[in-house]
């Protein structure tokens, strides 16, 4: 299993600013994912972040809006840039562990963003 | 395109009653299937998963799910619901490329 810590747990930001969310894992992982959960909605995959390579973005998400860093096997950041009220969501970091738990995702508790 | 459908947005059951949450998937190959639960103010937790083998899988908290290939379904069941089971339940499919796609979710309400 994995323990995932996200910071901040919540924040209120002004329109036009940016917010960087940090994700720290207590063990080394290869696969790390960022999801968005809009109010009352399901989870939508933003991007896959692998150490040593550029993040892979899903359709509808672009690097200029959601730049991601993955400097090592235990840490990643997601920045939400040029904020608008439509970006108000919960942003979730998740990781996939090794073969024994293949496919299972472990999630952080999320970062709740409100944009005014 | 691959997709996951949870036809019930919300379900209300009485405490002690049985529960079945529906999930249908559209995927070309044999999928990896999951059920996750999101309790209020908490992160997502895996309830159970199916990769292969026995089509009836047991999970945590007394939940089970049955994979039916002919119906492309992976319904979640519990014989007796507890008030603490009130939460949002997500069915998910792991696609190729290590991507997991989630259904829209079913919110479970439990009445006394």
CB atoms B44 and A103 under 8 Å: no
Instruction: Give the residue-averaged pLDDT of A1-15.
Output: 94
Backbone φ and ψ of B4, nearest 5°: -130, 130
Contacting residues of A for B105, CB less than 8 Å apart: 41-42
What are the mean pLDDT values of chain B's consecutive 10-residue runs (112 residues total)? 88 97 86 90 88 90 94 96 96 81 94 93
The more confidently predicted of residues A8 and A1 is A8
Give CA–CA dist B108/B23, Å, rounded.
14
pLDDT at residue A112 is higher than 80? yes
Q: Give the model's confidence band at A49: pLDDT under 50 very low, under 70 low, under 90 confident, else very high.
A: very high
CB hemisphere CA count around B47 (13 angstroms): 27
Residue ranges of chain A whose CB lies within 8 Å of a chain B CB = 4, 31, 33, 41-45, 48, 58, 92, 94, 96, 102-105, 107-110
Give CA–CA dist A12/A23, Å, rounded.
18
Per-residue pLDDT reduced to its tens digit, A58-105: 999 999 999 999 999 999 999 999 999 999 999 999 998 765 556 788
């Amino acid at each position: 299993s994995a323990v995932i810590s996200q910071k901040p747990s919540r924040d209120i930001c002004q329109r036009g600013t940016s917010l960087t969310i940090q994700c720290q894992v207590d063990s080394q992982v290869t696969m790390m994912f960022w999801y968005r959960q809009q109010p009352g909605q399901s989870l939508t995959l933003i991007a896959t972040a692998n150490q040593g390579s550029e993040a892979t973005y899903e359709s509808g998400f672009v690097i200029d809006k959601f730049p991601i860093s993955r400097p090592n096997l235990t840490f990643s950041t997601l920045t939400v840039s040029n904020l608008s009220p439509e970006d108000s969501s919960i942003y979730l970091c998740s990781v996939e562990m090794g073969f024994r738990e293949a496919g299972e995702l472990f999630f952080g508790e999320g970062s709740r963003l409100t944009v005014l | 395109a691959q997709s996951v459908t949870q036809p019930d947005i919300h379900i209300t059951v009485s405490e002690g009653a049985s529960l079945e949450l529906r999930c249908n998937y559209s995927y070309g190959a044999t999928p990896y299937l999951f059920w996750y639960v999101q309790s209020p103010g908490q992160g997502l937790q895996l309830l159970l998963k199916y990769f292969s083998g026995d089509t009836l899988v047991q999970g945590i908290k007394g939940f089970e799910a049955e994979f039916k290939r002919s119906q492309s379904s992976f319904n979640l069941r519990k014989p007796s619901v507890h008030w603490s089971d009130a939460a949002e339940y997500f069915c998910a499919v792991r696609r190729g490329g290590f991507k997991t796609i989630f259904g829209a979710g079913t919110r479970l309400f439990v009445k006394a």
